[in-house]
Amino acid sequence: MTDTTFNGAAPDGNDKASLGSAWRWLLRHPPVVTFSLIVLVCLVVGTINTDFWQVSNLFDILRASVVRGLFALGVLVVLASGGIDVSFTAIAAFVMYTVTMLVTNLLPGLPMPVILLVAAAGGACFGALNGLLVHTLRAPSLIVTIGTQYVIRSFLLTFVGTALFMNIPGSMEAFGKLALFTHQSANGSISILPAFVLVLAVAAAATWWILERTLMGRAVYAVGGNPGIAERLGYNLRTVHIFVFAYAGLLAGIAGIMHVASNRLANPFDLAGTELEIIAAVVLGGARITGGSGSVIGTLLGVVLITLVSNVLILVGIPSTWQLAIIGVFIVLAGTVFSLRARG
């Protein structure tokens, strides 16, 4: 009797220890949770509808992730510093519309690299203004960026224009059509992976390098963790605030041009209302709203998850009206896991 009880108790103790160790490891690696949700969504959708397992769907997901990914990388840097930005879609809309209009009317032969540089500079200027206001006013960044969002959109609609701009510059149209990879399926249909996905890859590499390999990256995480301690350690809060918002604006400007190039039209109403899903993607990737954490790989996984929910659930008969509800469930689930990490 005693031996039997002992033999039964030992494995239970080992199992609990193993489960506890696995749980602690999982909490220390938030992107694993996000990746698991991606795998779960893929398996469920692919089991119900085998058409999901097509190269064309993979290309569509990558294509749809570019603009979201650029926005999300900017939001990641701001969140890591303890701030929050909701003006990035307004910045993107203003930059993409004005740059497209000016290039078409004044410099139709301007090459694509120059257009991207102009858009990046314009977006960075708007973002730097956000950072300066946040630091100078000592106001919550959410309130400041809500205000600048409305100012930018109002200015765009009042003084620039409201009409669709369909005659985009030739270099932008050519870049949007440029293929990185072409695949022909067994039934003869051709799927194209656009070359502009490389823009997201470059932006992700640059963001990772800034956050993980530079003094500015350390400053961003330090300020996000505890601004008071960071300031006593010698970090300049003004510089950090201006940098993170300028970087988010820079990526927003590029995202706006990518949106025009991929859709081949500029609409001042485009991208409005997508702010929460972008912030959700970053949070699903493991970044805390309170700052001090977050990773590029987690953010990209969060973008892929949001894109999956937005693009492929229709394949299993789930109406688009339920997409936000499913994203909400994922956010609550991820938030619960990550809050447990904080307590541990």
Helix axis angle for 55-80 and 237-263, nearest 10°, is 160
Where do the domains of the chain lie?
Answer: 35-339
- Pull the structure tokens for residue 199: 């823009």
State pLDDT tens for residues 287-325: 888 888 889 999 999 999 999 888 877 777 777 777 778
For the range 109-117, what are the long-range contacts, defined as Cβ-Cβ under 8 Å and sequence gap of 24 or more?
109/170, 109/171, 110/169, 110/171, 111/171, 112/171, 112/172, 112/174, 112/175, 115/169, 115/171, 115/172, 115/257, 116/199, 116/254, 116/257
The residues, ordered by sequence, that sit 6+ positions from 95 with a Cβ below 8 Å of its Cβ are: 119, 122, 123, 126, 252, 253, 256, 257
> Can you tell me the mean pLDDT for 324-343?
69
What is the C-alpha separation between 245 and 85, in angstroms, rounded? 8
Residue 22 reports pLDDT greater than 50: yes
- Please give the pLDDT value at position 158: 83
- Please give the pLDDT value at position 342: 55
Q: Which of 239, 246, 250 is nearest to 127 (CA)?
A: 246
% pLDDT > 90, the chain: 52
- C-alpha dihedral sign at 160, 166, 168, 173: positive
Of 5-19, 25-39, 89-103, 236-250, give the lowest mean pLDDT range. 5-19
- Pull the structure tokens for residue 143: 């309130």
Of 8-12, 24-28, 112-116, 123-127, give the lowest mean pLDDT range. 8-12
Of 25-39, 178-192, 206-220, give the lowest mean pLDDT range. 25-39
- Please give the pLDDT value at position 161: 66
> Can you tell me the mean pLDDT for 276-291?
87
What is the C-alpha separation between 162 and 164, in angstroms, rounded? 7
- Pull the structure tokens for residue 109: 């032969």
Which CATH code for domain 35-339? 1.10.3470
- Please give the pLDDT value at position 79: 95
DSSP 100: H
> Can you tell me the mean pLDDT for 149-174?
85
> Can you tell me the mean pLDDT for 100-116?
92
State pLDDT tens for residues 50-88: 888 888 889 999 999 999 999 999 999 999 999 999 999
- Please give the pLDDT value at position 343: 56
At residue 19 the predicted structure's pLDDT band, cuts being 50, 70 and 90, is low
121-130 burial code (b ≥16 CB/10 A, e <16) = ebbbebbbbb
Q: How many CB atoms lie within 10 A of CB 24?
A: 13
193-220 burial code (b ≥16 CB/10 A, e <16) = bbebbebbeebbeebbebbeeeebbebb
Strands in 114-231 per DSSP E: 179-184, 190-194
Residue 259 reports pLDDT greater than 60: yes
- Contact criterion met (CB below 8 Å) for 61 and 308: yes
> Can you tell me the mean pLDDT for 235-251?
97
- Please give the pLDDT value at position 237: 95
Residue 5 reports pLDDT greater than 70: no
